[in-house]
């Protein structure tokens, strides 16, 4: 299975400040068409995960533009330009190129 | 966007079979793929597998010998069966579906609320 490794595990943030989460995969997620099959999810406390970013950099419907995704191959980053209080929760990356799909262990974002 | 709702027993005895149903509303189950994902309490997410309405399936190899997924298009439902359960199968189980990108990639963008299944005697 493809191993997804996120860092940091915990991320204390200050509202209004930027934040960044890294995700690395043990195999390339770049397909022959040039797409990176990497998605980002946010699981808010007590809720189901919600899609933020798909194909590494495409923002899902309704997701604020302060969220952005980048990267290719095996190294990916989720950035929040200015953190808001509602952004707290656990962020997961997930690869969708290889079966089974696998998730990172999660990054817990909390307000300082 | 479709609404997904999981249902099934919250308690299953060890060695027995876990069965869950996901009811789809707000759209047709036909012509799409449907997934199951689980999350042990306080832990991360595990993709269990997915089924296309054609019947084609993809399962996590570590669970493949115990997992069966099926679709009932008449009822707009799909189901998960997991046999020979142990305490390690205790988790919140989510059903999910997604959208198809022009590249052919199916990304997961709709989740049910999840249902806790505890394996205990």
Residue B6 pairs with which residues in a beta bridge? B22
Query: SS3 breakdown of chain B: % helix, strand, coil, rounded to 5?
Result: 0, 55, 45
Question: Does pLDDT of B102 surpass 90?
Answer: no
% of chain B surpassing 90 pLDDT: 84
Question: Does pLDDT of B31 surpass 80?
Answer: no
Cβ contact A100–B101 (<8 Å): no
Which residue stretches of chain A have pLDDT < 50? none
pLDDT-based confidence at residue B32 (cuts at 50, 70, 90): confident
CA dist A97 and A27 (Å) reads: 10
DSSP 8-state class, residue A30: B
- B contact test, residue of A35, A49, A90 with most B CBs within 10 A: A49
pLDDT-based confidence at residue B99 (cuts at 50, 70, 90): confident
- Give the pLDDT of residue B100: 85
A107: nearest CA partner in chain B: B44
Number of Cβ atoms within 10 Å of the Cβ of B72: 12
CA dist A9 and B106 (Å) reads: 28
- Give the pLDDT of residue B101: 85
Token look-up 């400040």 returns A17
* Strand, coil or helix: A100: coil
- Write out chain B residues lying below 8 Å of A54, CB-based: 101, 105, 107, 109
Cβ contact A55–B59 (<8 Å): no
């Amino acid at each position: 299975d493809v191993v997804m490794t996120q860092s940091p595990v915990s991320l204390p943030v200050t509202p209004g400040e930027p934040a960044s989460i890294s995700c690395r995969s043990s195999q390339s997620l770049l397909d022959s068409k040039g797409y990176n099959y990497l998605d980002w999810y946010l699981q808010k406390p007590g809720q189901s995960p919600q899609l933020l970013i798909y194909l590494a950099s495409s923002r899902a419907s309704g997701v604020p533009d302060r969220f952005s995704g980048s990267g290719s191959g095996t190294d990916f980053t989720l950035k929040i330009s200015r953190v808001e209080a509602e952004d707290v929760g656990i962020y997961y990356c997930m690869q969708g190129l290889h079966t089974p799909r696998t998730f990172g262990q999660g990054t817990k974002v909390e307000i300082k | 966007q479709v609404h997904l709702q999981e249902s099934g027993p919250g308690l299953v005895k060890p060695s027995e079979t876990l069965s869950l149903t996901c009811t789809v509303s707000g759209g047709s189950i036909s012509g799409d793929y449907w997934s199951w994902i689980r999350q042990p309490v306080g832990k991360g997410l595990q993709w269990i597998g997915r089924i296309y309405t054609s019947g084609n399936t993809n399962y996590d190899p570590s669970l493949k010998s115990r997992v069966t997924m099926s679709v009932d298009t008449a009822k707009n439902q799909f189901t998960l069966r997991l046999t020979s359960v142990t305490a390690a199968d205790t988790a919140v189980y989510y059903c999910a579906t997604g959208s198809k990108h022009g590249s052919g990639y199916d990304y997961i963008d709709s989740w049910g609320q999840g249902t806790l299944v505890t394996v205990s005697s």
